[in-house]
A = this chain, B = another copy of it.
Amino acid sequence: MTISASTATVRFAGVVPPVATPLNQDGTVDHASLARLVEYLIGAGCSGLFALGSTGETAYFTDAQRVEIARTIVETTAGRVPIIGGAIELTSVRVIEIARQLVEVGIDAIVATAPLYTLNSPTEIATHFRAIAAAIDAPLWAYDVPVRVHSKLGVDLLMQLASEGVLHGVKDSSGDDVGFRRLLAANAAAGHPLQLLTGHEMVVDAMLLAGADGVVPGFANVEAEGYVRLYEAAAKGDWDTARTEQERINQLFEVVFQPSGLSGDATGVGAFKAAMAARGLIDNATVATGVESLDEAAVTSIRAILDSHGLLSAR
């Protein structure tokens, strides 16, 4: 693999939200709302975008739909911030197929998980990432989300792949803060080859104190400004302000705990979209086809939380 100068310099730090995928009521992609959402996120000060992640419901789309979603995000962004795109697939040959299509439409970097469905060893998982990196013309990131992938990427594996130039960064949604702290230390000791972003939007202050380069907060789709303020405070070493902002965000984040009896996907993305629609950031709260909708009670609770923070749309 040859990393070209241009790809090697794409960097993702600060606030890099995973862009939700607004849908029309019939389940098709609402590209107008998507473009509006991208404008909102960039306008709020986000320093990069993560297209086609879990918050973007990427697993529920065909490759053709994924490419169209990526295209809208790329065209709306128009180079103002870099975009990393999720290539969520079973194994490397399949990751490569979709990754190339995403790069083709202008995605700047690719993030992939360990293989899905298969039963692989760490050695095989390393081979998987090497194969992807060698086959695509963009920097590769690893996405560590064991609750979905059902395997955990270890510190040694990640640092080995960093030393080879295979990986450029990690999006950590592992929920393993001790492991992430060890990764931060190992990365620092190795000269910081990886950019390390946390996906845990409720503990960003703590993760930044620990040394994270940035955050991928799904909740920024609902309110991005807070994360930008939080990050800027942390960057200045003003930890009290960072914490205060985090605590305010966390009160808002309670929207996610309003639905009851639904699946993880229905609850998480469903609450985000309900809040986004209530704020007027997107037209409909429709979730991916096959995922259950929130009931009226949950939506009412979500609106009340937003209202108590002055975040309800005047529309």
- Residue numbers of A with Cβ under 8 A of B are 59-62, 65, 88-94, 97, 113, 115-121, 123-124, 127-128, 131, 147-150, 175-178, 181-182, 185, 200, 202-203, 205-207, 209-211, 237, 239-240, 243, 247, 250-251, 262-266, 268, 288-292
Picked from B97, B240, B266, the residue with its CB within 8 Å of the CB of A124 is B266
A59–B121 touching, CB < 8 Å:
no
Interface pairs (25), CB distance under 8 Å: A59-B91, A60-B90, A88-B117, A90-B116, A91-B290, A92-B289, A115-B290, A116-B116, A118-B148, A119-B263, A119-B268, A120-B263, A120-B265, A123-B292, A124-B290, A124-B291, A124-B292, A131-B290, A178-B203, A181-B206, A185-B247, A205-B209, A209-B209, A210-B243, A239-B239
Which residues of chain B have C-beta atoms less than 8 A from A61's C-beta? 93
A119 to B256, CA, bound (A): 15
Which residues of chain B have C-beta atoms less than 8 A from A207's C-beta? 206
Q: 7 smallest A-B Cβ distances: which pairs?
A: A119-B264, A206-B206, A121-B263, A177-B177, A239-B239, A59-B90, A119-B265
Which residues of chain B have C-beta atoms less than 8 A from A147's C-beta? 119
Per DSSP, chain A at the interface is helix
A250–B185 touching, CB < 8 Å:
yes
CB-nearest residue of chain B to A237: B240
A117–B119 touching, CB < 8 Å:
no
Which residues of chain B have C-beta atoms less than 8 A from A211's C-beta? 243
B185–A200 touching, CB < 8 Å:
no
* Contacts A65-B93, A115-B290, A177-B177 supplied; 18 other A-B pairs, CB < 8 Å: A59-B90, A60-B90, A89-B90, A91-B290, A92-B290, A118-B148, A119-B147, A119-B148, A120-B290, A124-B265, A131-B289, A150-B150, A175-B176, A175-B178, A182-B250, A206-B207, A209-B243, A211-B243
